[in-house]
Amino acid sequence: MPSAKTQPARGMRDFLPEDVRKREYVISVIKEVYERYGFEPLETPAAENIETLMGKYGEEGNQLMFKILKRGVHEGTGEADLALRYDLTVPLARVVAEYRDKLPKFFKRYQIQPVWRADRPARGRYREFYQCDVDVLGSRSMIVEAEIISASSEALGKLGFSDFVVRLNHRKVLTGILDAAGIAQEKHVTALIALDKLDKIGADGVLREFEAREVVAAEAGKELLALFEPSGDNEEILARLERFIGSHVIGLEGLADLREIISYLPSSVVRIDPSLARGLTYYTGAIMEIQVEDLAGSMGGGGRYDNLIGMFLGRDIPACGFSLGLERIILVMSERNMFPVNLLRSPADVMMAVWRDAVEDALSVAAELRRQGLRVDVYPERDVKLGNQISYASKRSIPFVAFIGEEERGKGLVVLKNLKTGEQEILDRGEVAHVVLREVRRVE
């Protein structure tokens, strides 16, 4: 009986064969695209020394981290000396410090591994989930932002998404806007938190929050919000922002970065969106997020963070990265039926039925078919009626059953039954692979 005893741990998941195939498909497409952009794979251990992680994710992170008991006699004390990986960025910072003589000046890595957080599980939120990060370290050039946006968009495109939007903004532009709106420095964070909810609570809601938290006068608030109305193309939006910011030096730097980034990209790829805030600390330059209509939240996001990766090295290393939301991508692709048909196929192309004294012959035919690239299951028991063996294959959606009957033995002949049509033909052993492959490929 299934029971709490046999369920996976809370918030974690078992992946049965079809789930694994879906996940591996998505990961392989993403990897293939990142590799073509010159990114290289990195893997780090599931557990880190606890002092490597503690304090790096704020108070919430400290609490949500899975901590591992020190082994041996110390176990009784409850002391933890390891913790499970909480994200892929802190391990990257550690790797950069540890192997800096081995790594290239511009380290372009991707890393697709699980992380663990003791969050309250909810729909689409798990305690074990994959992150899928690309980062370029070592350069402040906007070519990096452009390449990262290209690569991540292309990965989604290859997965079959054609309706996504890359929203692009810049932390310095946000600073310029808030300064120009007359919002005091110490109210910037509060203002951005309110602005971040624009999608959900609308302009009026944001204005009410501005008032409640004394962020800015009503009139100036309205002017500010007008800036975020999604009208015009990128050039028009940039021009509007420039007029608003005026001579704000930092803000103009941000605008120049944005202009440079979009100059490097085909015009349809990104949409400048001044309302994009993406968290409040951490990012220092461009920020971006990819969205589709039917998913609340983003399919992925990232940006420039020049002051973080050097944390273990004692000097700044400029960095820009992007994280694709693997679990969300899989969720949307499942809902939209975007997985290729042949992924959801049966576990084998053909099942070899076996019969008492002909087991050796059956196994040798199976070996031949496998050599020709077919996925061949062999029915494991030799005293079961052929009809039952065929039912088993049929239940498992295996499209063909092959067997050697009394008539065929010693003649180099094999019976091949197509379970979809019910047709059955007697073939030379050498022909079987050809017939099965033709059908299997036709379906794919």
User: Which residues, 86 to 115, sit near a copy of itself by CB under 8 A?
Assistant: 94-95, 97-100, 102-106, 108-109, 114
The residue (of 197 and 382) whose beta carbon lies closer to a copy of itself is 382
Stretch touching a copy of itself by CB under 8 A, among 18-26, 157-165, 282-290, 324-332: 18-26
Which amino acid appears at position 267 of this protein?
Answer: S
Q: Specify the stretch interacting with a copy of itself by CB under 8 A; choose among 36-44, 227-235, 243-251, 410-418.
A: 36-44
Using rule CB under 8 A, residue 66 touches a copy of itself: yes
Return the SS3 of 351: strand
What is the rounded CA–CA span in Å between residue 145 and residue 264? 9
Binding mask 333-372 for a copy of itself (x = CB under 8 A): --------------xx--x--x----xx--x---x--x--
Residue at 130: amino acid letter? Y
Establish if 5 lies at the interface with a copy of itself (CB under 8 A): yes
Q: Which residue has the tokens 């059955």?
A: 424
Q: Is 428 an interacting residue with respect to a copy of itself (CB under 8 A)?
A: no
Tokens of 86: 């909480």
DSSP state of 88: S
386 interacts with a copy of itself by CB under 8 A: no
Q: Measured between alpha carbons, how far is 267 from 246 in angstroms, rounded to an integer? A: 26
Packing angle, helices 359-371 and 429-443, rounded to 10: 50
Contacts of a copy of itself in 145-204 (CB under 8 A)? 146-147, 150
Sign for the CA dihedral angle at 79, 82, 85, 89 comes to positive
**For a copy of itself, which is the closer residue by CB, 200 or 387?**
387
Give CA 290 to chain center in angstroms: 12
Of residues 387 through 416, those in contact with a copy of itself by CB under 8 A are 392, 395-396
User: Rounded to whole angstroms, how far apart are CA atoms 142 and 256?
Assistant: 10
> Nearer to a copy of itself by C-beta: 109 or 278?
109
Q: How far is the CB of 96 from a copy of itself (least distance, A)?
A: 9
Q: Applying CB under 8 A, which part among 213-221, 298-306, 376-384, 431-439 lies near a copy of itself?
A: 376-384
Q: 17-36 and 326-335 are packed helices; what angle lies between their axes, rounded to 10 degrees? A: 120
Q: Return the H-helix or E-strand segment holding 319.
A: strand 319-324
Residue 191 near residue 178 (C-beta atoms within 8 A): yes
124 part of the interface to a copy of itself, by CB under 8 A: no
Binding to a copy of itself (CB under 8 A) within 203-222 occurs at none
Q: Residue 112 or residue 287: which is nearer to a copy of itself going by CB?
A: 112
> Taking a C-beta distance cutoff of 8 angstroms, is the pair 286, 170 a contact?
yes
| Single-letter code of the amino acid located at 366 | A
295 binds a copy of itself (CB under 8 A): no
User: Which of 30, 42, 192, 330: binder of a copy of itself (CB under 8 A)?
Assistant: 42
Total number of residues that touch a copy of itself (CB under 8 A): 103
φ, ψ dihedrals at 414, nearest 5°: -135, 140
Q: Note whether 377 binds a copy of itself by CB under 8 A.
A: yes
Nearest to 22 by CA among 300, 295, 332: 332
Tokens of 249: 């030096």
Sign of CA dihedral 201, 202, 207, 208: negative
Query: Given the rule CB under 8 A, which of 70-78, 188-196, 226-234, 333-341 is the region that contacts a copy of itself?
Result: 70-78
Q: What is the dihedral of CA 214, 216, 217, 222, to 10 degrees?
A: -130
Query: CB 168 → a copy of itself: shortest distance, Å?
Result: 16
Q: Which of 187, 197, 271, 375 binds a copy of itself (CB under 8 A)?
A: 375
CB closer to a copy of itself, 43 vs 444: 43
Q: Using CB under 8 A, which residues numbered 125 to 154 contact a copy of itself?
A: 128, 136, 138-139, 141, 143-144, 146-147, 150
* Closer residue to a copy of itself, CB minimum distance, 67 or 170: 67
Judged by beta carbon, residue 32 or residue 229, the one nearer a copy of itself is 32
- If binding is defined by CB under 8 A, does position 47 make contact with a copy of itself? yes
How many CA within 13 A on the CB side of residue 103?
Answer: 21
Does the protein bind a copy of itself through residue 282 (CB under 8 A)? no
Cα–Cα distance measured from residue 197 to residue 296, given in angstroms and rounded to the nearest whole number: 12
